[in-house]
Chain A
Amino acid sequence: MKRTLMTAAATALAVSLTAAGCQSSGDSGKGPIKVGSINGITGLFQTPEVPKAVKAVFDEVNAAGGINGRKLELISKDDAMDPSRSGQAARELIQSSGVVALAGSSSAVDCGLNRATYSKSKIVSVPAVGVDPACFTSPNIAPVNPGPYALTTAMLYYASETLKHDKVCMDYTVLPGSGGGIEDAIKQWETLTGKHLTHKNLAVGQGDPTRYLVADKNAGCQAVIYNAVVGPWFAQAKTQGMQKVDFILAANSYTDANAKVIPPDMSAYAGTEWQPYTDPTLPGNDRWAKLVEKNGIQKTAFSQGAVMAADVFVDVLKTIKGDITRESVTKAFKEMRPINYPMVGTPYVFGPGDKHNPIQGSRFVKADKGGWKVLPGGFTVPGKS
């Protein structure tokens, strides 16, 4: 028994020593600047274009001499939307690869799972696409997209103030744990406008949407804010004769495929997180369009987020005087000055707070002839425009 205990203790000591030996604080100060990202490449949430676009920006910077003579190296890990792989990816990037920060992540599970790891390791993450609510409520994470809460407020604001509807309704699928954030987003809209929702359902599930649409119809909704599956929703809204209702969809529905499934006589808008990607001539889109075209990368909203995250990251790195280490990068982000980026509605800033949602507002597009038409008027930032 005693011998077994001794063996176990020795093994534990060896393992902990090995782990300690493998750990790196990302502060070598020599060689390439290693930057990590966790992306969904396989699995249910796929964004393969994101790490490609971040790499394209880094390649551009490297071709121009790098930062303080050091090249940028992106180490992207695919988490396949698998929690255990995501946690493993964060640990590997921080402990084994010694990355100085994470830039351009696009995973549906990264923020919620790894927020504590990032805080503990005093490392910052600038996701290209903040998907889960934790991306906007963590001290060491600040995405370059508005995310679900800010976007919801902007969508409600657009319905009541721009489209001038009095009876605004909401049918939402809310991810576990994000209900409070959505309620706060609604309260923010109520405070700004003094209006209240006519009908609300935050538990829209799978299956036939007729029951939700009939409830909207009975409530007399003039505009419906919606964030779930598009095809059956509009097919049944048409059957129920809801052609006069303005449906405002969240950014996840802003895809070419969805534009094609919306019947031509239905009125559908979508709130976008960056300048609508379907028009490369919009401010900020020209640089993104040229870069992704040159590198053969898919033109999606996510690749816009990737280019923006990489650009912002590089801009902040350039302000660092002295060695670029994990500590100096984290300090630079916490103390950075706001960056005006034309692809979004408000300046990007990380800052010292406990939660970050710097990008606010949305630009709206309308479904038209199987595509999306960009509406004039620029970004709708609640309370400001």
Chain B
Amino acid sequence: MVNSVVAGLTSGGGYALLGLCVVLTYRLVAVVNFAMTAVGAMGAFVMVSLTDKGLNVWLALVVGALSAALLSGLLGAALVRWFSGHRERTKAAVTVALYVALTAIGLRLFGGTSTGAHRFPNPFGDPVFTVGGVVVPQSVLVSLAFALLITLAVGLLLTRTRLGLKLQALSERPSTAEVVGIPAPLLAVGVWSGVGAITMLVIVLVAPRLGGDFSTLAGLISTALAVAMVGAFRSLPLTLAGGLILGCLEGVSSSLDAIQKYQGVVPFLVILVLLWWRSRREVWDTAHSR
């Protein structure tokens, strides 16, 4: 059981990164982006398609990140252009539709689970140390470091810089932000592009552990949302902790025979419990606040 918990914890860094991407998008542009991992997976597969053709891996990484940024930017531009006045739930619904469309396109372009498996570069696969019977590779530390970096850097950006102030204004009152001279549409598309590129990098980093085919990687959105829910879509440090908690829960659930068969339910159970916890003091017809 201890070994299983340690094994689960080693997955936590990757899960945290996925959750942070969701929270990042939500805090900066106020959209729960269901298409996030599909966009990242598109970029990641652009990258591996190029490396398959013999392109240098770093160059392919840059091209992949740029393509994810472009795709995410287009998605953001569409939302700004046609849905800026709509409610959050409408925007979320649009991203669900895009998730379905992108998954179908990705499956067609890059193949299914068996036929489209790719070996992603794993530069951090070497072992660092062993805890109990679990070998901890460099990638675990890199994921955790990357998650910490995002948590700190974005926290500082939003609270200590002028750009951060503008971004918060854009997220919370986009129309008012535009009135006071903040170039809201341009800034929003920029944020979407940036988050797209970061998501692609995260997908490439977690792919050797979490899935090498398009549909598995695009499907990581369910894990990402469960982790983001721990941070209530706001708190970056809590989201980071959420990734580690989810990893632990998975480790525990796979080691106990009685609940082993229900382990796939764990992320959804986390979502459910947290939704209930968050809404326990809400009064009917009271406006939700972000």
The answer on A and B forming one complex is yes
Interface of chain B residues 58 through 83 with chain A (CB within 8 A): none
B3 & A229 in contact (Cβ 8 Å cutoff) = no
B263 & A203 in contact (Cβ 8 Å cutoff) = yes
* CB within 8 Å: A-B pair count: 125
A46 & B119 in contact (Cβ 8 Å cutoff) = no
Q: With an 8 A cutoff between CB atoms, is B118 at the interface? A: yes
In Å, the complex CA distance between A231 and B125 comes to 14
Q: CB-CB < 8 A to A261: which residues of B?
A: 117-119, 212
Q: CB-CB < 8 A to A215: which residues of B?
A: 3-4, 254-255
Q: With an 8 A cutoff between CB atoms, is A70 at the interface? A: no
How many residues on the B side are at the interface (Cβ–Cβ under 8 A)? Answer: 47
B255 & A231 in contact (Cβ 8 Å cutoff) = no
Scan B1-45; emit 1 where CB is below 8 A from any A CB, else 0. 001101110110010000000000000000000000000000000
Interface of chain A residues 212 through 241 with chain B (CB within 8 A): 212-215, 217-218, 229-232, 235-236, 238-241
| Min distance, Cβ A213 to any Cβ of chain B, angstroms | 8
B208 & A235 in contact (Cβ 8 Å cutoff) = yes
Residue of A nearest to B126 (CB): A239
In Å, the complex CA distance between A218 and B254 comes to 14
Q: Contacts A210-B11, A239-B125: A229 and B213 contacting too (C-beta < 8 A)? A: yes
Q: CB-CB < 8 A to A206: which residues of B?
A: 210-211, 216, 219, 264
Q: Contacts A44-B107, A261-B117: A232 and B112 contacting too (C-beta < 8 A)? A: no
A230 & B117 in contact (Cβ 8 Å cutoff) = yes
A255 & B118 in contact (Cβ 8 Å cutoff) = no
In Å, the complex CA distance between A236 and B7 comes to 11
Q: CB-CB < 8 A to B14: which residues of A?
A: 208
In Å, the complex CA distance between A209 and B117 comes to 16
Scan A179-197; emit 1 where CB is below 8 A from any B CB, else 0. 0000000000000000000
Q: With an 8 A cutoff between CB atoms, is A116 at the interface? A: no
In Å, the complex CA distance between A261 and B219 comes to 20
In Å, the complex CA distance between A202 and B133 comes to 22
Q: With an 8 A cutoff between CB atoms, is B114 at the interface? A: yes
Interface residues on A, range: 35 or more
Q: With an 8 A cutoff between CB atoms, is B260 at the interface? A: yes
In Å, the complex CA distance between A260 and B107 comes to 19
A258 & B215 in contact (Cβ 8 Å cutoff) = no
Q: CB-CB < 8 A to A213: which residues of B?
A: 7
Q: With an 8 A cutoff between CB atoms, is B135 at the interface? A: yes
Q: Contacts A201-B254, A235-B125, A240-B134: A208 and B212 contacting too (C-beta < 8 A)? A: no
Residue of A nearest to B110 (CB): A257
Q: CB-CB < 8 A to A244: which residues of B?
A: none
B118 & A207 in contact (Cβ 8 Å cutoff) = no
Scan B247-290; emit 1 where CB is below 8 A from any A CB, else 0. 10011001100001111100000000000000000000000000
Residue of B nearest to A254 (CB): B114
A218 & B118 in contact (Cβ 8 Å cutoff) = no
In Å, the complex CA distance between A257 and B115 comes to 6
Q: With an 8 A cutoff between CB atoms, is A205 at the interface? A: yes
A257 & B264 in contact (Cβ 8 Å cutoff) = no
Q: With an 8 A cutoff between CB atoms, is B185 at the interface? A: no
B251 & A231 in contact (Cβ 8 Å cutoff) = no
New contact pairs (16) apart from A206-B210, A231-B208, CB-CB < 8 Å: A205-B263, A205-B264, A207-B223, A208-B10, A208-B210, A208-B250, A211-B254, A214-B6, A214-B133, A218-B3, A218-B133, A229-B212, A231-B119, A255-B115, A255-B117, A257-B115
19 contacts between A and B (CB under 8 A): A46-B107, A205-B264, A206-B211, A208-B7, A208-B11, A210-B7, A211-B7, A211-B8, A211-B251, A211-B254, A212-B254, A218-B3, A218-B133, A229-B213, A231-B117, A232-B210, A257-B115, A258-B114, A261-B117
Among all A-B residue pairs, the 7 with the closest Cβ atoms: A231-B212, A208-B11, A205-B264, A203-B261, A211-B7, A261-B119, A214-B7
